[in-house]
Amino acid sequence: MTDSELQQLVMTISQRDFHRPFRHRAYFNARLRTTGGRYQLASHDIDINPKMLTDFGEATLIGVIKHELCHYHLHLSHRGYQHRDPAFKQLLAQVGGSRYAPAPKHPRVQPYRYLYKCQDCGQTYPRKRRMNTDRYRCGRCRGPLKFVEKVC
């Protein structure tokens, strides 16, 4: 789905479910990582995380769009547009939008990059960051640590 197709989808959902036009911009923003979408107060634009479509499907995408459109229409009508406001909760339930977006999957995050080992007892220490082996000792036996491998 392209940005122009997303724009058309948002305009259609806004007219069909909210009975109001969407007159601003909607686009995919790949920099969103922990959220499904974002309504920008200053410009009234809507950013959508593309992983909502690719990882979870069109039904989840439509739920996120409805959520952001609730913020949009309530803000423009000078009503409570924040998550805690009763007007927001009521409108979201009325149109069937999703309250929470599913957590995006992060497959490229590795648990550790460096592996250290105690020379005396053999205790291993997987680490995300490098460490100075002259400065640190084993927590179990106080033996010296040795760098074993770098996992990329």
Active site residues: 68
Radius of gyration of the chain (CA): 24
Q: Which amino acid is at 51?
A: K
Structure tokens at 56: 């979870």
Q: What angle do CA 108, 111, 113 make, to 5 degrees?
A: 90
For residue 80, the one-letter residue type is: G
Return the HEC string of 101-144.
Answer: CCCCCCCCCCCCCEEEEECCCCCEEEECCCCCCCCCECCCCCCE
Report how far apart the first and last C-alpha atoms of the chain are (Å, whole number).
Answer: 33
For 52, the token pair is 């909502």
C-alpha 89/C-alpha 77 separation (Å) is 15
